[in-house]
Amino acid sequence: DLSNSSEEVLKGIVAITGKTPIFEKLDLREKESVRSFFKKHNDVSGVIHFAASKAVGESVGNPLLYYENNIASLIYLLQELSKQDKANFIFSSSCTVYGQAEEMPITEDAPVQKPMSPYGNTKKIGEEIISDVAKVTSVNAILLRYFNPVGAHPSAEIGELPIGVPQNLVPFITQTGSGVRQELSVFGDDYPTPDGTCIRDYIHVVDLAKAHVIALQRLLNGKNLEKIETFNLGTGTGSSVLEVINSFEKMSGKKLPYKIVPRREGDITEAYANTDKANDVLGWKAQSTLDEAMASKWEPILSSPI
């Protein structure tokens, strides 16, 4: 629905792939729009569902936006897909379903707990809905539990371009580095971690994209071992907020202005992935390091004046 993007992205996709995707602007919260989409495009063999709001902090302040946008859109998509005699569905889920996991690195069979934010809860509920639907319909699904997606396509043609003040760490860092924002606020340095700041598993968005292609091909080729399969998508390495700042400073050669402020509601201390299942079963492994991801985010900004 372009609420947090723009049609310019299509030009970037054409520049990268040489192919012009069919684009239909619609709001997945409108049941009739979803229904008419599938009437018009009755040859859809697979769906990758990314369309959700995804900022932990924002979801705490505006839970209904998240429950409506993330759950209603999923239900309307599944209603259409379950009418097909075979439906392949890739779901963008999240490590937030683990809440604060007991053990690190986190495996796919770590207990799913009540996530610490409405955003994470919409992903937990979404996974449960998909599981219930797959049991009684033709839907085959792969749940991809993202850790922290960062970076941009190396061509600089497409990348994260949050509309308004960025909620996530890395876009806020790059906007601070390019002078759009004055100073980064680090939400707490009193966590039980080596440097006191929270640890996350920052995965390059291109690595993430490649995992989606592999997952969809797995379903299209009938290689899935169960109707629902779950994979953690991370690098397997945890990085603290201060380490991410250091990485940016190393990659950009710039000092980043920041200050320590109180903790943000809904944040967990630590999350990074055990990547064995994605490596061994899905046949996918993240290739980019945090520094490479940061460089991919920063270089385009250097080359294109803000």
- Residue 168 or 246 having the CB closest to ligand WQD: 168
Active site residue: 119, 146, 202, 272, which one? 119
Site membership for ligand WQD, residue 31 (CB under 6 A) = no
CB of residue 190 to ligand WQD, shortest distance in Å = 12
CB of residue 153 to ligand WQD, shortest distance in Å = 18
Q: Is 272 a catalytic residue?
A: no
# residues near ligand WQD by CB under 6 A: 22
Among 28, 49, 54, 158, binds ligand WQD (CB under 6 A): 54
Of 25, 286, 40, nearest to 146 (Cα)? 286
Question: What is the number of the residue whose Cβ is closest to ligand WQD?
Answer: 198
Of 80, 193, 182, nearest to 137 (Cα)? 80
Residue 28 to residue 74: CA distance in whole angstroms: 8
Pairing, β 239-240 against β 199-200 = antiparallel
- Residue 5 or 167 having the CB closest to ligand WQD: 167
Site membership for ligand WQD, residue 200 (CB under 6 A) = yes
Site membership for ligand WQD, residue 185 (CB under 6 A) = yes
What residues numbered 243-282 form the site for ligand WQD, per CB under 6 A?
A: 264, 267
What residues numbered 74-113 form the site for ligand WQD, per CB under 6 A?
A: 94-96
Residue 89 to residue 87: CA distance in whole angstroms: 6
CB of residue 258 to ligand WQD, shortest distance in Å = 8
Site membership for ligand WQD, residue 56 (CB under 6 A) = yes
How many CA atoms lie less than 13 Å away from 287 in the CB half-sphere?
A: 9
- Residue 74 or 169 having the CB closest to ligand WQD: 169
> Which residues share a beta bridge with 137?
none
Among 187, 231, 272, 298, binds ligand WQD (CB under 6 A): 187
Among 148, 175, 252, 296, binds ligand WQD (CB under 6 A): 148
Q: Where are the beta strands (DSSP E) in the chain?
A: 47-49, 87-94, 139-146, 148-150, 184-187, 199-200, 202-204, 228-233, 239-240, 258-261
CB of residue 292 to ligand WQD, shortest distance in Å = 18
244 Cβ contact list (under 8 Å, min separation 6): 169, 170, 173, 202, 290, 294
Residue 289 to residue 302: CA distance in whole angstroms: 20
Interface with ligand WQD by CB under 6 A: which range of 106-114, 179-187, 212-220, 290-298? Answer: 179-187
> Residue 17: how many CB atoms within 10 A of its CB?
10
- Residue 27 or 267 having the CB closest to ligand WQD: 267
Interface with ligand WQD by CB under 6 A: which range of 75-83, 108-116, 164-172, 212-220? Answer: 164-172
Q: Are 278 and 286 in contact (CB under 8 A)?
A: no
29 Cβ contact list (under 8 Å, min separation 6): 68, 69, 72, 73, 76
* Residues forming the site for ligand WQD (CB under 6 A): 54-56, 94-96, 146, 148-149, 167-169, 172, 184-187, 198, 200, 241, 264, 267
Catalytic residue positions?
A: 119
